[in-house]
Amino acid sequence: MSTIGVGIVGCGFVGRGAHVPAFSSIEGAQLVAVADADPKRLGKVQKKYPLKTAYQDYAELVKDPDIQAVVVSLPTPLHAKASLAAIQAGKHVLCEMPLAANLEDADRLLAAAEKAGVILMPSLNFRFTPNYVRAKAMIDQGVVGRPSSAIYREFISARDLADQWPAGSWMWKLADSGGPLYTLCVWSIDLLRWLFQTEIVEVHSAVKYSPLEKLGGTLGYDAAATVRLANGVVGSLQYSGNVTRVSSTSRLEVVGDSNCLLDATWNDKLTVFGDDPAKTEWNVGEPGPRMWGHQQMDEYFVRCIQQGQTPSITPQDGRRAMEVALQIVQGTK
């Protein structure tokens, strides 16, 4: 199979921390170039990885004839514009979520990809996270019986939020970005749709933002949502970015009529509690970009291009996660 030349747009937290090391190690892929407006970020990547070149303007990267695939890992308000530029240049695109800051821009993106005949794959890496892959396999095998409810809780350290998005950054221009809740909750929404292979048909939510004066005036948030899926499963989603003295963590619990509880903690441990007195536990965490599934997802993206295959993760999946996320965020209105 031919080698796929890859360009990565954005060398921030996810771009430099996950996609750059992943594509640098994937057989059949060559990381050709990266682009970032910050020369210091570019320099850090260039020192560590062998690149053909680096660009400060992604418009130049998407024109590079040695690049067939572009990864967009920029701030949310720039996702659609950069992805559209890559699509119009005939490149396949893996775009970080959300695909855009609003549904109108997402729809234009989807239409452009279809017209150009290129892959537009949303970065829904939870579908590749080892913990969740095993959880889905167990649900499909009937371990919990017929699923009745799912609870997902995600606590992001307020200090982590303030470090990554200090007051005044693009994230806090809520009208343009949608805010941290919108940006972060799309993955867990898609996780429920994927685990149960059905659609979310009902959404109720409440959201509160709180200024964190001790962290430079950045905003913390608390949100709770109840969703109903088409198969009858009731989902409870809880998010918080208000706690300072805690590490970021998450938990997924699935209950069914077999009287079992499937408990997936953060990205490394899966436990089944049931009638069997011996609980069953797996430690499935993996280091580096495999931890949250980026390595596996990036490999899949490359294989789809090489084999002329349509990814199972569709642009419509990304759009639907955005749609539900916006419904949750707008719960205050």
**269-295 pLDDT, tens digit each:** 999 998 776 668 888 877 777 889 999
3-state secondary structure of 66: coil
Residues 207 and 177 grouped into a single domain = yes
Residues 98 and 191 grouped into a single domain = no
CATH number of the domain where residue 64 is located: 3.40.50.720
Stretch among 32-41, 100-109, 151-160 having the lowest mean pLDDT: 151-160
115 occurs within a structural domain: yes
Residues 86 and 170 grouped into a single domain = no
Residues 28 and 99 grouped into a single domain = yes
200 occurs within a structural domain: yes
Question: pTM of the prediction?
Answer: 0.95
Stretch among 7-16, 38-47, 281-290 having the lowest mean pLDDT: 281-290
CATH number of the domain where residue 157 is located: 3.30.360.10
Distance of CA 291 to the CA centre of its chain: 13
57 occurs within a structural domain: yes
- For residue 273, CA distances in Å to 112, 231, 254, 286 come to 47, 23, 11, 23
Last residue of a domain, one of 93, 122, 151: 122
111 occurs within a structural domain: yes
333 has pLDDT over 60: no
- What is the structure's pLDDT at 128? 97
Stretch among 120-134, 160-174, 195-209 having the lowest mean pLDDT: 160-174
22 has pLDDT over 70: yes
- What is the structure's pLDDT at 332? 45
Residues 131 and 110 grouped into a single domain = no
Tokens of residue 170, six digits: 């693009």
- Average the pLDDT over 304-332 and give the result: 95
Last residue of a domain, one of 77, 103, 122: 122
Cα 185 to Cα 97: distance, rounded to the nearest angstrom: 10
Number of domains in the chain: 2
Cα 43 to Cα 243: distance, rounded to the nearest angstrom: 34
- What is the structure's pLDDT at 278? 62
**147-180 pLDDT, tens digit each:** 999 999 999 998 888 888 888 888 888 888 899 9
Distance of CA 63 to the CA centre of its chain: 26
Q: Could you please report the per-residue DSSP string of 67-132?
A: --EEEE-S-HHHHHHHHHHHHHTT-EEEEPSSSSSSHHHHHHHHHHHHHHT--EEE--GGGT-HHH
Residues 102 and 145 grouped into a single domain = no
Residues 115 and 197 grouped into a single domain = no
Tokens of residue 290, six digits: 């495999």
Quote the domain boundaries for residue 172.
127-287+322-332
